[in-house]
Structure 1
Amino acid sequence: MSSRWLDSPARYGLVTRLLHWGMAALFAWQFLGMGVKLALGRHALTAFLVGTHKPVGTLLMLLILARGVWGLSQWRRRPPHPPTWVGRAALAGHAALYALMAWVPTVALLREYGSGKGFAPWGVPLFPATGVKQAALMAPANLTHGVLAWTLLALVVGHVLMVALHHLLWRDTTLARMAGRL
């Protein structure tokens, strides 16, 4: 595989970048839809955006799994976090982002399964309709999906602000590693 596809200590490769920015766009779509729902309530735009929430969330779950596998395969090649308190904070922040990116759609899919309604995003059957609700499978998402999704958004905003701090104030190469030329 060409070196531009792989991560290196100096920058992230094309696969990592495509996964990162593709997921960023899909998360933005998800949060936009939920924000419009909160702002407008019942509305045609809300119906359209919220109507895509579950299929897009399923796609995000697939990309999260792919990103996790890819990230583990590139672990030793990636740009390192510096061994400072800022580097440790960045590592902790990234770990929290990944944990929430995995948890939020996982419990949503568990809720779909437990609903007994069946689930077929884009017409691809993932769960058959059983007609039987399983409250124990639905409870984790009912308790955590929304609040942890908004927590994820807060972490994403923090992530973006830290990138801005790195770029504008500290003038280092952090942004270029994920967004710069290959």
Structure 2
Amino acid sequence: MPFQSDTARRYGTVSRALHWGMALLFAWQFFGMALRAALGRTPVVSFFVGSHVTVGVLLLALVLLRLLWARANHGHRPPYEAGLLGRAARLGHAALYALMVIVPTLAVLRLYGSGRGYAPFGIEIFAPSETRIEWLMAPANALHGLLAWVLLALIAGHVAMVAVHQLLLRDRLLYRMVRTAGPADPAPAQER
């Protein structure tokens, strides 16, 4: 597949890879946590939950990369619709991105505050310490799980709105993120 940049009609190769790659990683995270909530601690749950911290840190790195990529492509991406639907989409995306940054950041702060250290794939991010920093751990203890489930609800809303666009509005909005090219591309919002 040749490299394609973002355009006013569709997202390019990098944007699509980041979007769908992160979607798979979030599915892994939420599936593991749903199993944990339903089954408690079992070997199957441990298989999924054992990677939770590392996948969460990877998601944080990817969302930061995604934000930088979006900024670099500002003005070259499909625009939001005019009117209420466009404003709602902009606010929904802003909330998604905010929580995609906040949720793992809280967890990293908790991990650092715990003094356990963190070395994914043998690369030391921070060393173990004898000191626990309770004020760094407290926000994540209070909010990480709750905000993660709010993020899942926003993701479900995002998917539901894609379905509304595809099935009810029939504006082929989904093609912006799944197709590389084709005659069925939706027109940019300003051409409608």
CA RMSD of aligned residues (A): 1.0
The match for 2:149 is 150
> For the Cα contact (< 8 Å) 1:118–1:130, is it kept in 2?
yes
Return 5+ residue gaps in structure 1 as ranges.
none
Q: Which has the higher contact order (CA 8 A, sep 6+)?
A: 2
Count of paired positions: 180
Task: Please list, as runs of the form range in 1=range in 2, the aligned pairs for 1:74-93 lying within 5 A after superposition.
Answer: 74-93=73-92
> For the Cα contact (< 8 Å) 1:37–1:46, is it kept in 2?
yes
> For the Cα contact (< 8 Å) 2:11–2:177, is it kept in 1?
yes
CA distance, structure 2, for counterparts of residue 120 and residue 32 of structure 1: 24
Return 5+ residue gaps in structure 2 as ranges.
182-192
**TM-score under structure 2 normalisation?**
0.91
Name the stretch that deviates more: 4-13 or 143-152: 4-13
Matched residue of 2:174: which SS? helix
**TM-score under structure 1 normalisation?**
0.96
* 1:53-82 deviation line (CA, Å, top 9, x unaligned): 001111111101110100111111110001
Q: CA deviation at 1:5?
A: 2.6
Task: Please list, as runs of the form range in 1=range in 2, the aligned pairs for 1:8-157 lying within 5 A after superposition.
Answer: 8-157=7-156
The match for 2:163 is 164
Moved over 4 A (4+): none
The match for 2:188 is none
Name the stretch that deviates more: 164-173 or 146-155: 164-173
> For the Cα contact (< 8 Å) 2:12–2:180, is it kept in 1?
no
CA distance, structure 2, for counterparts of residue 7 and residue 181 of structure 1: 10
> For the Cα contact (< 8 Å) 1:107–1:141, is it kept in 2?
yes
Matched residue of 1:166: which SS? helix
CA distance, structure 2, for counterparts of residue 20 and residue 70 of structure 1: 11
CA distance, structure 1, for counterparts of residue 136 and residue 57 of structure 2: 17
